[in-house]
Amino acid sequence: MNDKLTYCENCNQDTEYEIVNLKMSGRLKDVMYFYDGKEARCKECGKPVYVPEVNDYNLKQLYDVFRVKNDIVPLEVVKEIPEKYDIGKRPLSLLLGWGELTFSRYYDGDMPTKQYSKILKEIYESPLYYKKVLEEGKNNLPSESTYNKSMKAVMNCINEMNKNDSKINIVIQYLLNKCEDVTPLALQKALYYTQGFYYAFNKKYIFSENCEAWVHGPVYHDIYARYKDYQYDAIEQYDHEIDESKLSTSEKAVIDSIIKYFCCYSGKVLESFTHNETPWIETRGDMPALASSAKVISKRLIGEYFSSVKEKYQMINPSDISAYSDEMFRMI
């Protein structure tokens, strides 16, 4: 309910109004979109009345649905980017090689193109990607102080990301510290095999995070966003001291075996391994080979599959994982 006043054309006077929730629709670029909107109604006659705030709300709801349906970066994300990386709207636009006011328009609600939307998503999701953009576009910025402020902000983001002590991040730090030439693709598969074999030997999952059945095998989405700017290059080794006490003896035993018996293969080879395993195959089902998917590979499937692998190869301890990796390599 709302006791503010607005002009009612039917009553020909200022009246109180109330807000009701409605299913609404709107057309953008010749396509009809449906959204949850609001309508202001005169409390005297019950007719709709114009209230600027309600109109603005409905427009935002319509545009939000449009963004979701067309995979356009959310407005909230656009607004968070300058604050996250301590950079003004105009300098950010210049950094990206856009018109000086382009980002400001997007910040105020204009719809970015799909190309620009993809760039903004990558910048927001991956501090490592933004750092690369910042370094390469340094000369586009109005001053060195602008560059220094933003570099300080992005390094703080990266350091916070690395300090995150969730189990999956600790395992990533351990893997990057112990391995050489680990690409993002290989890292994803190492995490997947760590999850599977840890369950096989300990009957519990080492990560709470879910992985998804992407075209190139199992993928942890947030980890992909973090390292995707490396593409096919090796991820930089983790050069900070790792508190290995955060990993139990049983956890390290499994991870060390994954490093020894799986990380010796390239990401593409490991991708081929996963394409022959039940969890990925069953989750994707009848999908076309190159179809994008964010279907979650259930932990149950992973646990059951690797438990059966452990039984089939009569594994006693994690060092016995070698029998499985050798067999998978011979198969491909």
Position 215 confidence tier, pLDDT thresholds 50, 70, 90: very high
Question: Rounded distance, CA 113 to CA 134, Å?
Answer: 21
- Residue 165's pLDDT is what? 66
Check: CB of residue 217 under 8 Å from CB of residue 189.
yes
CATH code of the domain covering residue 37:
3.10.20
- Do 144 and 218 fall into the same domain? no
Share the mean pLDDT of the chain.
91
**Would you say residue 108 has pLDDT above 50?**
yes
Range(s) of the domain holding residue 50: 2-69
Residues 94 and 41 in one domain: no
List pLDDT tens digits, range 20-30. 999 999 998 88
Q: Do 186 and 244 share a domain, yes or no?
A: yes
To the nearest whole percent, how much of the chain has pLDDT over 90?
68
Domain termination residue (choose one: 24, 42, 69): 69
Three-state SS annotation for 41-73: EECCCCCECCCHHHHHHHHHHHHHHHHHHCCCC
**Average pLDDT of span 291-312:** 93
Q: How confident is the model at residue 2 (pLDDT cuts 50, 70, 90)?
A: very low
Is the pLDDT score of 280 beyond 80?
A: yes
Q: Tell whether the model's pLDDT for residue 62 goes beyond 60.
A: yes
Got the DSSP string for 230-278? GTTSPPPP--SPP-GGGS-HHHHHHHHHHHHHTTTS-HHHHHHHHTTSH
| 233 or 42: which leads in pLDDT | 42
Query: 136 with 246, same domain?
Result: no
Whether the per-residue pLDDT at 253 is higher than 80: the answer is yes
Output the pLDDT for position 187.
96
Same domain, residue pair 209 and 268: yes
For residue 151, pLDDT over 50 is answered with yes
Confidence grade of residue 266 (pLDDT, cut at 50, 70, 90): very high
Give the domain-ending residue among 102, 131, 162: 162
CB-CB neighbours of 179 under 10 Å: 20
pLDDT in tens, 111-137: 888 899 989 988 988 888 899 999 999
pLDDT per residue over 173-192, tens digit each? Answer: 899 988 878 999 999 999 99
Rounded to whole angstroms, the Cα distance separating 261 from 264 reads 6
Q: 85 and 16 in one domain?
A: no
Give residue 292's pLDDT band: very low, low, confident or very high (50, 70, 90): confident
Give the mean pLDDT of 291-310.
93
- What's the mean pLDDT in 57-85? 89
- Is the same domain home to 150 and 173? no
- 207, 122: one domain: no
Q: Are residues 59 and 202 in the same domain?
A: no
Same domain, 184 and 253: yes
For residue 305, the SS3 value is helix
| pLDDT (mean) for 190-207 | 96
> At 159, is the pLDDT very low, low, confident or very high (cuts 50, 70, 90)?
confident
pLDDT at 146: 96
Q: Specify the length of the chain in residues.
A: 332
57 shares its domain with 107: no
The CA dihedral of 133, 135, 140, 141, to the nearest 10 degrees, is: 100
**pLDDT band at 164; cut points 50, 70, 90:** low
The two tokens of residue 332 are 């491909």
Look at phi and psi of residue 98 and say left if phi exceeds 0, alpha if psi is from -120 to 50, else beta.
Answer: beta
Pick the last residue of a domain from 162, 183, 212. 162
C-alpha 76 chain-centroid distance:
15
Number of domains in the chain: 3
Whether residues 291 and 190 share a domain: the answer is yes
At CA 230, angle to CA 226 and CA 233, rounded to 5? 140
